[in-house]
Amino acid sequence: MKKPFIAGNWKMFKTIDEAKNLVQTIKAGIGKLHDCQIVICPPYTALCEISKLLQDSHLELGAQNMHPETEGAFTGEISPLMLKDVKCRYVILGHSERRQYFGESNAFINEKIKTALKYSLIPIICVGETLAQREARTQFEIVKQQMDESLKDISKDEMMRTVIAYEPVWAIGTGQTATPEQAEQMQSYIRRLLNEMYGKEVAGRIPILYGGSVKPDNIALLIQKPNIDGALVGGASLKGENFVQIIMNAQSQIEAGLQS
């Protein structure tokens, strides 16, 4: 049975107190539900406190970015060792907001992925096209280039410890979700690329998430598609009830699918 993988990217939101409250709401809301893999990615300032709150739960901790070096004169950056220090297990890399506002290239993202893997952090690697690229019908080419360049020289064994997130930029924070068909079309393409690059076994094991305006009322239709293994949720992960509802709806849809 597919185990839904739901990650919340809190972006630049939440003070430490707000973050703690949000985690308590999520923990209470999901109760003993264990059939779902849940990752939360708070801002750096809250990682340490949230890490303590997650010790007695099966929720896992992730960061939103990371520098490829372990230490050095990189003002304002955070290193993989620092993320390990606060017990992060995951790190989001190559998010479109990093690409767009901070000029991150596929080559730089590739360096980050390699370091994350070296220090046993699981990268959630984001790919996705802009609206202009989709309108020019170059979305498959763009995603292929992002995959080829950001996964350069990553071995089969390393690839087993990654997660891919397809986030079409035009669907992020806009309320305009990709249709389940549009998401599935790209995600089955990503699965095919992984198959060509790493073989069937690896391709079959890597969770491929969808991100972009995921809400409690659209997760069910998305998760029922064969190549949508879960979601990377932005705005709707900032409200405990919404995030919990997304998890519950994903889980119920998978159980319903099994019975039908």
**Residues forming the active site:** 95, 167
Residue nearer to ligand 13P on the CB measure, 202 or 208: 208
Residue nearer to ligand 13P on the CB measure, 161 or 215: 215
Burial of 120 (0-12, 13-18, 19+ CB in 10 A): exposed
Examine residue 66 and tell whether it contacts ligand 13P (CB under 6 A). no
The DSSP string of 50-92 is HHHHTTTSS-EEEES---SSSSSS-TT---HHHHHHTT--EEE
Task: Report how far apart the first and last C-alpha atoms of the chain are (Å, whole number).
Answer: 13
Q: Provide the β-strand partners of residue 127.
A: 166
Contact track, ligand 13P, 204-223, x by CB under 6 A: -------xxxx---------
Residue with structure tokens 């959630």? Answer: 124
Site for ligand 13P, residues 86 to 105, rule: CB under 6 A: 95
Rounded CA-CA distance 245/36 in Å is 13
Residue nearer to ligand 13P on the CB measure, 61 or 172: 172
Rule CB under 6 A: choose which of 9, 187, 249, 253 binds ligand 13P. Answer: 9
- Count of residues in contact with ligand 13P, rule CB under 6 A: 14
* Secondary structure E strands in the chain: 5-9, 37-41, 60-63, 90-93, 122-127, 163-166, 208-211, 230-233
Residue nearer to ligand 13P on the CB measure, 133 or 213: 213
Examine residue 62 and tell whether it contacts ligand 13P (CB under 6 A). no
Examine residue 151 and tell whether it contacts ligand 13P (CB under 6 A). no
Residues that bind ligand 13P (CB under 6 A): 9, 95, 167, 172-173, 211-214, 232-236
